[in-house]
Structure 1
């Protein structure tokens, strides 16, 4: 049975608040602007065989959450990994959450599991048999495949994800801009020239820490 829409919104907001209190290095995630049942994420991997990889993923939450089935996780594009379906990009999350338990399981634990699969490769009951067999019998060939996957993720970082291209909360990246480099340098040295002629939205409202503050609410940088 589907939950009341407002009750589900409250539950998901509570889940997101719990997530914000966790320390999960290398992962950023934000609820979709199209549906609160979809969360967009990116995993930046800093160590291990997948080091340097930048992998996009989506968490699909059932409308019966937190009762019923567990959420689904899809990587887009798919990642070469024993526990990820090579065609669909779906992570075999049920090997870790065979039954989703209300009050016992939370979405931040899903993120920890996503991080874990790239740190500790497990091939038991693998969903990608080719990757599992290479990992077990020809580690060198497996690492070569992984390296190709990592390099491809870097090449695709500036290409919009087809699954979230129309999502206002999609996580997008832009190539480095020399003008931004100058701003960064001023920020690091503590000078105020960095803010000259800059218009638009600020990441933080000074003294309030409110993200995406309107420009007209900011205090003057000339003071």
Structure 2
């Protein structure tokens, strides 16, 4: 790794540490397992016209960071919004960060901006002119379009995002499992009951190099 790459890596670690200290409700973000220049994120919206929406996005950070260009924000979920390009999913980040300034602008501010666009909808110089027109002139039709993309985001919640499917740090959701929740509660309480109904093989048979091969470690009522 070259000297400037070390500097970039250190800067990104510092940015992520700053982000962790901020309180930004409804947003989860984690650096990609493939590149520290890509951060995976999800925004859960709890109020306003987009209430109930679960929108995935990625932040693409330029390799010149924190100088020159602003990061890109691409929504991988379909979002009907005046400031989000309907074809590419790109948020108009230049609207708020026309010039990225070292030691002034930070990535946590980008997340705050993402949250803000769903709370205060602006239609001037919109990148989605259709959404802007409906918001200003036909609010009912606008809300119907928004409802469609919110419902789509919830329907797709458990479907892996194709853009991050091979990323070890992809944010993945699975359906609620009551049994696992019960185990979690027992683990937090420190009780033995957490494992009473979980059985399996453990250790290894002598001379066998396969893990979990000794059947005599099963509970007695399972033998």
**Do both proteins adopt the same fold according to a TM-score greater than 0.5, normalized to the shorter chain?**
yes
Q: Is the 8 A contact 1:78 1:88 kept in 2?
A: no
Deviation at 1:25, TM superposition (A): 0.3
Q: Is the 8 A contact 1:43 1:55 kept in 2?
A: yes
The match for 1:123 is 123
User: Equivalent residue of 2:74, what SS?
Assistant: strand
**Does structure 2 retain, via aligned residues, the 8 Å contact 1:82–1:128?**
yes
CA contact (8 A) 2:158 2:174 kept: yes
- The residue aligned with 1:87 is 87
Indicate conservation of the 8 Å contact 1:29/1:41, yes or no.
Answer: yes
Q: Is the Cα contact below 8 Å between 2:78 and 2:149 reproduced in 1? A: no
- 1:1-223 → structure 2 map (5 Å cutoff): 4-184=4-184, 186=186, 191-196=191-196
List gaps (5 residues or longer) in structure 1. 200-223
In 1, the alpha carbon distance for the partners of 2:196 and 2:59 equals 40
Q: 1:21 to 1:198 in 2, by over 3 A?
A: farther
| TM-score, with structure 1 as normaliser | 0.84
Cα offsets for 1:99-146 (capped at 9, x unmatched)? 000000000000000000000100010000000000000000100110
Q: Secondary structure at the match of 2:19?
A: helix
Q: Distance in 2 between matches of 1:43 and 1:111?
A: 9
Aligned-pair Cα RMSD in Å: 1.9
Show structure 2 runs of 5+ residues with no match.
200-223
* 8 Å Cα contact 1:82/1:126 also seen in 2: yes
Runs of 4+ in 1 over 4 A off after TM superposition: 184-192, 195-199
Decide whether aligned partners of structure 1 residues 3 and 95 sit closer, same or farther in structure 2, where only a CA change above 3 A counts: farther
Question: TM-score, normalised on structure 2?
Answer: 0.84
Change (3 A) 1:195 1:150: same
